[in-house]
Structure 1
Amino acid sequence: MRLSSYTIFVPLERTGGTVLVHGISGAVDRVGGDWARNMRAMRWDLFSEQDLAYMMRRGYITRKTVAEERETALRIGRRLRDRAAHSASFILVPTLGCNLGCAYCFQNFLRAGGAASPSLSTEMADAAFRAMAALQKRRGARVSRILLFGGEPLLAANRPVLEHVFRRGMELGYRFDAVTNGTELHHFRGWLGPGRLESVQITLDGPPEVHDRQRRTPDGRGTYWRIKRNVDLALAQGVRVSLRVNAGWESLGSVPDLVAEFDRYGWLGHGLFAAYCAPIRGEGGQGESARLQRAVIRLVREVNAVYRPRFGRDVLAVAGGALRRKVAHLLGERLLAALTPAYCGAHLNMFVLAADGGVYTCWEAIGVPGGRVGRFWPELELDEDRLGRWLERHGLSIPACQTCRYVFFCSGGCGIRALQRGDGFDSAFCDGFAELFRCHVEQAVALRDDLSGVPVHRELGY
């Protein structure tokens, strides 16, 4: 009998104790510090027979060998892959152009040297909807939402084609979400709200003096107050707002002041508002990435400690939306949504239809050699070899990931970032994932008073 290779210990810094998570069975339990220490030391003589049987049933301890457990993980992963093959999600990129010039934007190379930025025409938009219908039929899926991405998807200059997209999409039963800089959202007032454009992600990188240094128009004008007014507009019209705060070493210290502004605006108590903080990618070089992420996690904890007594909950999260959803599904007993063999939709079920007429599985692959997996304009054509390469990059296909306890949470990490690092597209990209996972579990657990009695998910056959 031994400690399972897939048992994860998450210390609860705020309340004490430890949360146990099993990376294959999906079991979650809160235990005391002594219990966790005795488990780590494999002092089974200190547990009752009943407790040992419970831990065995949950998967935390096992009589299987490492190889047998790995085979169990592969078997479960194959079943999860089979389920994912019958799903799809769509991202529509109306334009690769943008009205801002943020220094850290990963798409800057697309607009280097004043390169022209393509935009959708109404004919291309109709072709995109035909391609979505064909992709749903191909995968046996039914998709009801479309995410708008850019460039900046909600440019006033593109309003005619976007109104066509909204009108035609709603006729087909779609609802919309958008990742937008929020500067021109007011031009789409009539399309905001339930049943139309229902949620937006918008960025504010600090109080006005900080934000306006980082996110300004090409002629140098600040954008803070324009974005603030549009967040107010969105909330007033029933749109869910996810507020992103990009933090680097220079701006990290201003985050508490920004959250205080959110409080002053009444956003923190608004049911449709949520905020999260993200470390700027590549800040200080790759060697600094993990250190900045740890600093962001510490700061988020400090901010929440200030506001939790008033609001009874955390008011600021750490970046990692896909992971945050997985943890929420895990604690909500939605195991098949929580455990996935792919890091994100790019390696699972996502199709990006961009203004250049191309089909991608990752929005960061637009313009990257080898990133395109087909085209939708004028008709849908897929490169099956390239598509297969993207969809077959996952935790089960990377040997180092198969015995990792985070295999169904990290699942090999981001493929594009692995490629950019130079280790190859099919290598693992961990990037401090363990600490990020613990942070998200701790934040999610803070919302629940009692984790005992979460059922064993026998349907996965652990």
Structure 2
Amino acid sequence: MLRTSSYTIYVDLPDNPREMLLVHGYTGAYDKVSRRVASYLRSRESHRPPKPLYGEWSPEPEVDEPAGPPPPDVIAVLRQRGYLTHLSPAEEETLFERLALKLHQRASARPPTYVFMPTYDCNLRCSYCFQDRMRTDPRFAHLLRTLRPAMVDRIFAAVPRIEAAHGVDPAAGGSRSVGFFGGEPLLAAQRPIVEYVIERSRRLGDVTFWAVTNATELEAYRDLLGPGALARLQVTLDGPPAEHDRRRVYADGSGSFARIARNLDLALERGAVVNVRLNVDRNNLHQLPAVARAILDRGWPRRRSFSVYAAPIHAANDKTPRRTTLNSWQLDQALVAMRRDHPEMRVIGRPDEGIRIRARQIFDRGADVVPHFRPSFCGAHDQMYIFDPFGDVYACWERTGEPQIRIARITPEGEVELRHDVHRQWRSRSVASNPVCRRCRYALHCGGGCAILALGQRGEFHANYCDGFASRFRASIADAYLAYLAGGEPGGEPDRLCDL
């Protein structure tokens, strides 16, 4: 029997009671239909779809009964686009699972991303930091050593073995991605080892370098900033200057805003791509307009290589009360409201800018959505390798510093000694590994959410962390379509290093 696909997404449009957008969760179809056609599809759902963002589900005002079948040619198109199917819900779930696994395997065959941790040490003492214990608990003092050249050599001896495991031919060329994370990776004291990693990486061929840094000591890297070396930087601000200086503090309690701002000027002058992440909770949310004004006053948005976006703080330690945090949907709605009253807020990107931009590309030129499907949430589940100063290898930079959670270690001989159980746990997590995600119409757009946040919220690694994604996705698609109709500039893909 013909029924509506379990992966049909209904996007209702504000102030448009006659039309809707349909999105299919695994065929990649995007279509505008009459409300009557959407109501017909809804009537053939095996289970109730999500409540619309704008208003309630109802047929068009002049229709007193559920909509009948559309004409045969419309039915044929709905079938061809995937919205109608003869598969049972169980059969369609199996089809979805096979597709998700194939996409995940394809992602795992990409060249790996390498992340070096020059040190676990940091010169700041941010209260919400997930690594806070490493600098405040004496039991972790042994971790605060610096990566040494001999260990870097050992790691690079292992690179061909890592790439062979991903089916990558070292002789085939292609670009590699090498990043720096910490602790604080770009402390002045780490300059020699960072430079050595860059030099060793270049022997592999074409390499793109990036770093997640607090930018307090970037002046020590002046000649390495920009194209060819530290080309991309992600830097965090915690509010306008006074608020930031209460949150991102040195060990003596002094603030860091002025120094970070000077170094952002330097990085931009040197040609680096700079992406600023604004950490937001309920206590500094109202200060975002002041942040926007401070950013505009610095003139940073005049440079095409600069971008800034807001992201919610997560309760990563016992110093961050959960009641003070926001989820991504709550933050996005607050940003929309602020933009109405504070036009300067448009300089600050919203959490789901990438969804809106990709949807605009579909509406503008029929871009293929399949390459943007997310069978897993991030590189931790397919091809990211994080090396710490001890030669321990981790999958996720949110979970480092404890040997029992490492996925491997690099032996003195340059061999990769896998911990098969932990490696398999990280690399097997996808939307196919969780029954909830397998049945979710948004799964290939969401990726199942962050494993660390899922573990913290549900106590299970392979659980889903939805973070209001259904509402966020539908609102983002509606926004993108309205912007398409208005003919505004679509903008470029946001240059963010992590969606967390």
TM above 0.5, yes or no, is yes
| Aligned partner of residue 120 in structure 1, secondary structure | coil
Deviation at residue 214 of structure 1 after TM alignment: 0.7
Between the aligned partners of 1:19 and 1:143, the Cα distance in structure 2 is 38
**Residue number in structure 1 paired with 2:264:** 231
Between the aligned partners of 2:433 and 2:183, the Cα distance in structure 1 is 32
Matched, 1:144 2:180: no
**Residue number in structure 1 paired with 2:224:** 191
Matched, 1:132 2:159: yes
CA 1:197–1:435: 2 relative to 1, 3 Å: same
CA 1:400–1:294: 2 relative to 1, 3 Å: closer
Contact 2:236 2:277 in 1 (8 A): yes
Between the aligned partners of 2:361 and 2:155, the Cα distance in structure 1 is 31
CA 1:122–1:319: 2 relative to 1, 3 Å: farther
Q: Among residues 125, 142, 147, which one is paired with 1:120 in the alignment?
A: 147
Between the aligned partners of 2:272 and 2:296, the Cα distance in structure 1 is 19
Deviation at residue 324 of structure 1 after TM alignment: 7.7
Between the aligned partners of 1:343 and 1:31, the Cα distance in structure 2 is 31
Deviation at residue 267 of structure 1 after TM alignment: 2.3
Amino acid aligned to 1:300: L
Amino acid aligned to 1:357: G
Between the aligned partners of 1:327 and 1:349, the Cα distance in structure 2 is 26
Amino acid aligned to 1:97: D
Matched, 1:240 2:273: yes
Between the aligned partners of 1:66 and 1:338, the Cα distance in structure 2 is 25
CA 1:317–1:31: 2 relative to 1, 3 Å: farther
| Aligned partner of residue 45 in structure 1, secondary structure | coil
CA 1:368–1:441: 2 relative to 1, 3 Å: farther
Matched, 1:27 2:63: no
CA 1:7–1:367: 2 relative to 1, 3 Å: same
User: Percent of aligned pairs with the same residue?
Assistant: 36
Matched, 1:213 2:246: yes
CA 1:83–1:44: 2 relative to 1, 3 Å: farther
Deviation at residue 69 of structure 1 after TM alignment: 1.3
Q: Among residues 392, 398, 408, which one is paired with 1:364 in the alignment?
A: 398
Q: Among residues 168, 175, 198, which one is paired with 2:208 in the alignment?
A: 175
**Residue number in structure 2 paired with 1:6:** 7
Matched, 1:60 2:83: yes
**Residue number in structure 2 paired with 1:373:** 407
1:289-345 per-position Cα deviation (integer Å, ceiling 9, x unaligned): 5x543331122223455687x99xx53333368878986887773444311321211
Deviation at residue 91 of structure 1 after TM alignment: 1.6
Contact 1:9 1:20 in 2 (8 A): yes
| Aligned partner of residue 408 in structure 1, secondary structure | helix
Amino acid aligned to 1:200: L
Between the aligned partners of 2:258 and 2:41, the Cα distance in structure 1 is 53
Between the aligned partners of 1:329 and 1:123, the Cα distance in structure 2 is 47
Q: Among residues 232, 254, 258, which one is paired with 2:291 in the alignment?
A: 258
TM-score, normalised with respect to structure 1: 0.87
Contact 1:170 1:196 in 2 (8 A): no
Matched, 1:105 2:129: yes
Structure 2, unaligned runs of 5 or more? 45-65, 169-173, 488-500
Contact 1:18 1:36 in 2 (8 A): yes
TM-score, normalised with respect to structure 2: 0.80
**Residue number in structure 2 paired with 1:71:** 94
Between the aligned partners of 1:100 and 1:330, the Cα distance in structure 2 is 43
Structure 1, unaligned runs of 5 or more? 452-462
1:63-107 per-position Cα deviation (integer Å, ceiling 9, x unaligned): 322112112102212321331231222222111111100000111
Deviation at residue 206 of structure 1 after TM alignment: 1.1
**Residue number in structure 2 paired with 1:350:** 384
Q: Among residues 94, 103, 109, which one is paired with 1:80 in the alignment?
A: 103
Q: Answer with 1 or 2: which has the greater Rg.
A: 2
CA 1:305–1:132: 2 relative to 1, 3 Å: farther
Between the aligned partners of 2:351 and 2:378, the Cα distance in structure 1 is 14
| Aligned partner of residue 421 in structure 1, secondary structure | helix
Between the aligned partners of 2:163 and 2:368, the Cα distance in structure 1 is 24
Contact 1:297 1:439 in 2 (8 A): no
| Aligned partner of residue 437 in structure 2, secondary structure | helix
Matched, 1:432 2:462: no
| Aligned partner of residue 276 in structure 2, secondary structure | strand
| Aligned partner of residue 190 in structure 1, secondary structure | helix
CA 1:266–1:164: 2 relative to 1, 3 Å: same
CA 1:271–1:97: 2 relative to 1, 3 Å: same
Q: Among residues 457, 467, 470, which one is paired with 1:421 in the alignment?
A: 457
Amino acid aligned to 1:350: M
Report matched runs for 1:313-352 at 5 Å: 315-319=347-351, 333-352=367-386
CA 1:73–1:183: 2 relative to 1, 3 Å: same
Amino acid aligned to 1:340: R
Amino acid aligned to 1:89: T
CA 1:5–1:254: 2 relative to 1, 3 Å: same
Superposition CA RMSD, Å: 3.0
